[in-house]
Structure formats: structure tokens, C-alpha cells
Amino acid sequence: MASHLRADAETTSATSPGSTAADTADAARSPAATDPDADRENGGRLGSVFWASIGLSVVVVAWAVLFTDNLNKVTTASLNWVTGTFGWTYLLVTLVILLFLVFLAFSPAGGIRLGKDADRPEFSTPAWIAMILSAVMGIGLISYGVAEPISHLSTPPHGLAEPGTPSAAVRALQYSYFDWGLHAWAIFAVFGLAIAYSTHRKQRRTLVSQLFVLLLGDRVNGPVGKAIDVLAVFATLFGTTTSLGLGALQINNGLGTLFGIPVDSVTQVLIIAAVTTLFTLSAVTGVSKGIRLLSQGSSLLAAGLFVFMLVVGPTVFLANLYIESVGRWATDFFRMSLQGTAFGGLEWMQLWTYFMMAWWVSWGAFVGVFLARISRGRTIRGFIVGVLAVPSAVFFAWFTVFGGTAIHLDLFEGGDIAEQTAADINSAFFATLDHFPFASVTSAIAILLVVMFFVSGADANTYVLSMMTSDGSLTPRRPVLVLWGVLTGVTAIVLMLAGGLNALQNTVIVTSLPFLVIIVGLAVSFWKELGADRKGMTHVAR
């Protein structure tokens, strides 16, 4: 989902007027770690967070290997209990956080800088937006860009329309916008804000526990703080493995379409193993130039594929569908935000909205670190508007063009994409491309995109996992990087073999629930800290 964190500053400084090598190095480093030698030494000390995180991860891997059936039974039962009992909390918490961010943006606190008062943004606004977009462009765009809208066309959310009708088409995009829009980025934004404020303004270590200083005091450095960091690591790991699993399924399906390679677990394991080797080597060697090129190249390829489909697809229909779907999304915004399962619909919510919300929660810490690193000097208001608006707009456009094209094919041109998707959800994107010129070329580009997203995103996640388990060090030791890279790949493989996509989805939902509590806590702590700081500034002004 995001480019290599150590390469982010280099990526943008190359497009920023007046940037220097020193600027690049500074941007890649937290203010809390101004002494490279001290940071390197700190990276050599592995404490209880590291050992507890590794231990829990190994237990899950061993469980999946040795007691596969039991794992599936437990995760399925846990999923039903979590979603049936607490599913509504995903909806309520994300909505409250979104409203909190909107309020914050328009409050006097919106003018506070993420850094010292004299700091100004390190990067130009266009460059900053480009970096946010590089974080947005991920495996999910290929995995669900067609699959979610076309699935909703044949099975409309909450029975709000007749299947396969124009009304169902509008509902399909409306709910795709909901699952991939403002709510997801509210989670990322609140993490990014809290981490940026903590590291850039308060000069603290880049750890989730450090966001709770005002709420927990010195306890953030004790067992309570360490438990928070372990939860952050655990959630991030399973968010990553879910993406790896989805990526492997997409690559396998694309290769099967192009070259007739078998679509089976053996091929998927080989794909995960190969890509794990690539992103682990990347994380260890720090080949920032290569990852930078991957990130830039993936953005250009995605933009090219988008323009191609917009031109060769039903352009006028897509424009009309977009306007109507956005209108329906805006009109029903609060109803969708609080759509529970009191009268049924739990299974549908588990497959879609609850899973998506849990996935975003599990990625919160990683994307928050990414956003914090590139946003020093920006105001809280500018950060919130940019992070909420830009990615949401990109996803809306992508889902409209690709999902809308598939819908047009099925409704008006006798297509069977919905039928193919029901048989294998990973075939949706390639089935759509197959209806247009240069299908082999565009399918190859889609496969390449998934691989590029796969490597750059997993590389960044490996670095963040290593950093979080090395006491926030920006220079984690190589053995730690290797260990997390291998463990990420192995976890993805064993969960894939244990139950495929269902196992990945079940696990990410169950493991994300405790982290939802962390999000609420960090939002409260962040608000308290803002209030205390504003009082201090007012007192000084007087």
C-alpha cells in the first residue's frame, strides 16, 4: 500500500525545488532520532515487545500448521462472535473519528503545525499529494476494483435493490465508495496526526505507545505501553499477510489467464515465497533507489491503465453513473455509517464492510507512520483535508471506471463478469480487461502492478514491524528485518494453506478488534494533548 519509508523523502525531494541530499536524509529520519549513532545503538537492543511479538506470531504459525482444522473452527467461531457482538463498534468508532477530524480541521487547533511553530512543509503540496497517492495505490485496487462493485450488482447490499438492475448498479458503487472512502482514511488520518504530533512536535520515539503519554503518563514505558506496542505489531502483521495473500491470488489468476499456469495453492505458495525474498532483500539492503522507481513506476502504470479504460470503456455511461452514485452515497452517508445487523445481513457485512473496516484498522499504525514521516511542518487542517479528500477521490474514480465498466458489460452487452466473479473473485479484474483491445498487454500490466505493489508495500511493512519491535529505532538491525520479512511471508503462506481467502479475512477481523480500542484511546489522548498545548500557548501569549 505504500512505498518504502526510507525512500519516501528521496522520492519527493527529487521533485521539490531547492531540495538537497541533506534534506532527503533529514526527511527520512524522525526528529526524535537526531543522533545516528545513538539510534543505531538503540536498534541493537531487543526488548520484551520484540520477543512477545515474535512469540505470538510463531504460536499462530504453529497453530495453523499443526492444528489447521482447529484454527479454522476457532477463527470462524471468533469471527461470528466478534462481528455479531461488536461489529457495530467498527461502524460507530470510524464515524466518530471522522466527525472528530472534521471538527478538528475547522477548529482553532487546525492551525497548529505538525512540528515547531516555525516549521513549514518540507515538500510542495503537489509532491506531498503524490506521496499520499503512492500510499493509496495498492493491491486492493486490483483485487477489489471490479470484484466489489460487480458482486454488489448481483447481490445488492442489504437487499436495497433487485439484483442485476440499474438501481443495483448505483447501490454497488455507493457501497464500494463507503468501504474504500472517508471512513478508511479517517483511521489512517487519526494515526498519522497523532504520530506526527508526537514525533515532530513532542520529539518522542515513533511508537504507538508514545501517543498515550497524556492519558497514561509514565505507564507508557511500562507493561501497559509495551502491550499497546505488541497489539500494534500483531495487527500490522495480519493486515500485511492479508494483502500478501490477496496479491498472490491475483498474480496466480493473471498468470493463469495469460499463460495457463495452474491456479492452485502450490503456485500461490511459490509466488509468496518469491516475492517475500524480494521485499526482504530490499528491506535489508535499503535499496531506496530501486523502491523509489517501483513506487513511481506503479503510479504511472496505474494511471495509464485507468486512462486506457476510461477511453475505451463506456465513458459517457461512467460519467453519469459516477454522478448518480456519488449523489446516492452522499444522501445515504449517515445511514450507511450506522447500518447494523439487528435484522440480519451479518454474513454480507462479514464479507464486505466489517472485513474492510478491520483491514483498515490493522493497517492504521503502518500508514500512520508513513503519513507522519512526510507531513512535518503541515498544519493539522491541511493534513486532514489532504489525507481524507485525495485518496477518497482516487478510489471513487478507480471503482467507477473499472467497476462501472464491468457493470455496463453485464447489464448491456451480455457479459458474464458477475458469474465469473462468483466462481472466483480473483478473476474479476482480468475478466473485465478481456473484453477490450490489447487484453494480453493490459492483463500483463495488471500483474506487474500487483507485483510492484506487493514488493514496495511489504518492504515498507517489514521496516515498520522491525522499527516497532526495536524500541522505535529508525535503523533496525538486519537480522530483525530478515526475521520479520520471513515471518510475514510464512504467516501468509500458512494462512493461505489453512483456509485461503476466508482464513485471511477471518484472522484480520478477529485480530483487529483489540486495536480498535487503541484507536479510541489515542484519539482521546491526542485531543487532551492538543487542549493542554493550546492552553499553554494562550497563557504564554497573555
Q: Which domains does the chain have, with CATH numbers?
A: 5-10+43-534 (1.20.1740)
DSSP state of 15: T
Chain centroid to CA 407: how far?
A: 26
Q: At what angle do helices 223-259 and 439-468 cross, to 10 degrees?
A: 160
In this prediction, residue 265 carries a pLDDT of 87
In this prediction, residue 344 carries a pLDDT of 85
In this prediction, residue 238 carries a pLDDT of 83
In this prediction, residue 422 carries a pLDDT of 92
DSSP state of 399: I
In this prediction, residue 69 carries a pLDDT of 87
In this prediction, residue 342 carries a pLDDT of 86
Please give the grid coordinates belonging to residue 149.
Answer: 462493485
Please give the grid coordinates belonging to residue 367.
Answer: 500508514
In this prediction, residue 292 carries a pLDDT of 63
- The C-alpha atoms of residue 196 and residue 372 are separated, in whole angstroms, by 4
Q: Which residue has the cell 543522533?
A: 35
In this prediction, residue 1 carries a pLDDT of 42
In this prediction, residue 439 carries a pLDDT of 93
- The C-alpha atoms of residue 442 and residue 105 are separated, in whole angstroms, by 41
Q: What's the whole-model pTM score?
A: 0.86
Mean pLDDT by 10 residues, the chain (542 residues): 42 32 32 43 71 91 88 86 90 95 92 88 80 70 92 94 96 96 94 92 89 88 91 85 84 88 90 87 66 72 93 96 96 94 88 90 85 89 93 93 97 93 91 94 91 79 87 86 90 82 77 87 90 64 44
Burial of 257 (0-12, 13-18, 19+ CB in 10 A): buried
Please give the grid coordinates belonging to residue 91.
Answer: 461502524
